[in-house]
Amino acid sequence: MPSRVELTVRSNETQLIGEPTGEFSDVVLFFGIIDILQDYDISKKLEHAYKSFQYDSTSISAVDPKVYSKRFKDFMFRVFADDS
């Protein structure tokens, strides 16, 4: 999938998307979604509960599939914005 990306600079390690620099490059993207192979069963629910005590519950990977789906789509729309 041919695409263009804009170089960004993050102010800290926890920031997901950095500040735009205005410098663009052509790239070819390859990605796949493999999380469909993982069931959200009792072990994942327990993992989510355990990690929620230590971290922000919205930032951990073991979340309900509907939450994961929304978070993934929101991230993709932020990262792959229109050229306009």
Evaluated on CA atoms 3, 21, 71, 46, the torsion sign reads positive
What percent of the chain is predicted at pLDDT more than 90?
10
Q: pLDDT at position 1, please?
A: 59
Average pLDDT over residues 52-59: 85
Q: pLDDT at position 64, please?
A: 87
What single-letter DSSP state applies at residue 45? H
Average pLDDT over residues 67-72: 85
DSSP H or E run through 22 = strand 19-28
Residue 83 has pLDDT above 80, yes or no: no
Average pLDDT over residues 68-84: 78
Domain boundary assignment for the chain = 1-31, 33-84
Stated pTM of the model: 0.54
